[in-house]
Amino acid sequence: MMAERGVEVDHSTINQWVLKYAPELGKRVRPHLNPTNDSWRVDETYIEIKGKWKYLYRAVDSEGNTLNFMLSAKRDGKAATRFFRKVLKAQHTQTPRGITVDKNAAYPVAMGALKADETLAAEIQLRQSKYLNNVIEQDHRTIKRIVKPMMGFKSFKTARRTLSGIEAMNMIRKGQVNGIDQGNSVSQAKFIEAIFGITA
């Protein structure tokens, strides 16, 4: 885009823009998100940081709408508990009727902790089924397709800030923003211009 306008921009400059504006995009999108439903699909995928695998926890509802996400250095009960609490705090989510996860042993531990402190009601079901989680497995692919060409991140902070923008754009493209239809790139661009107070 810059080359078409006769402007030369170094890749490091673009990287600085991403690190500055990606988290801000994620923050400004949230008040405009449509409410999600109460059937959760939760899973984690791998993200390479400094040559080591870290874990991106992600949750969508039964229709594929993003609930929330969290980058974690560990894949255990404490991390899963933190993630569930983060999802529950999001403005556009509601308390789940049921949560579908894979066979990761960390999820029952997390559910036990949340039910013990009454964050979640005792009757909420945790279903451990790899095959019922196809909705989020498919959604992972969108994120991985963007992350893969990056050849890994150099720091945890860089990964977290960049992923914030990637996830926000994913929500916009999926039509989760109030008044914007899925696949309508013109209205998506106008929405981003509006929330940043700019014109193209």
> Model confidence over 134-193: pLDDT tens digits?
899 999 999 999 999 888 899 999 999 999 999 999 999 999 999 998 889 999 999 999
Please choose, from the candidates 88, 87, 90, 95, the residue with its C-alpha nearest in 3D space to the C-alpha of residue 30: 90
Instruction: Render 67-116 in DSSP notation, one character per residue.
Output: EEEEEES--SHHHHHHHHHHHHHSTT----SEEEE-S-THHHHHHHHHHH
pTM > 0.85: yes
Question: What distance in Å separates the CA atoms of residue 69 and residue 41, rounded to the nearest whole number?
Answer: 12
Mean pLDDT to the nearest integer, 113-121: 96
Domain 33-155 in CATH 3.40.50.10320? The answer is no
Task: For residue 152, give the 3-state DSSP assignment.
Answer: coil
Task: For residue 15, give the 3-state DSSP assignment.
Answer: helix
Domain ranges of the chain: 33-155
> Model confidence over 33-45: pLDDT tens digits?
999 999 999 999 9
Per-residue pLDDT at 136? 93
